[in-house]
Amino acid sequence: MESFNGRLRDECLNEHLFTSLSEARSLIEASRIDYNNCRSHTSLGGLAPAIYAAKTRHHRPGSPELRMGSAHRALNPKPKPERKANRLY
């Protein structure tokens, strides 16, 4: 995250004089998309984060798909009905 913040500051925020909030948002979003989808990262074996995530997601058995949520199962599963202690079987 620190690397992204430093690059954003150096390559976007220090280079542009924004005339409106919408212009700033637009340029910052373009920088974020470029950083995550186009730029290679040495820590990810020279891949862009989006490409690395797509490749590793398919190679991890049981990994959840992002569109289906991040948890493997419900965090608060339905409780099982309690058995009555005095009941004879």
- The answer to whether residue 68 sits within a structural domain is no
- The answer to whether residue 36 sits within a structural domain is yes
What does the pLDDT read at residue 79? 65
Please count the structural domains in the chain.
1
Match 């990994």 to its residue by tokens.
63
Per-residue burial over 64-73, b if 16 or more Cβ lie within 10 Å, else e, is eeeeeeeeee
Q: Consecutive 10-residue runs of the chain (89 residues): their mean pLDDT?
A: 80 88 92 83 82 77 54 62 63
- The answer to whether residue 70 sits within a structural domain is no
- The answer to whether residue 44 sits within a structural domain is yes
Q: How far is C-alpha 76 from the geometric centre of its chain's CA atoms?
A: 23
- Residue 46 structural domain: 2-60
- The answer to whether residue 16 sits within a structural domain is yes
What does the pLDDT read at residue 83? 66
Closest C-alpha among 64, 31, 38, 65 to residue 52:
38
Closest C-alpha among 60, 61, 35, 59 to residue 49:
35
- The answer to whether residue 32 sits within a structural domain is yes
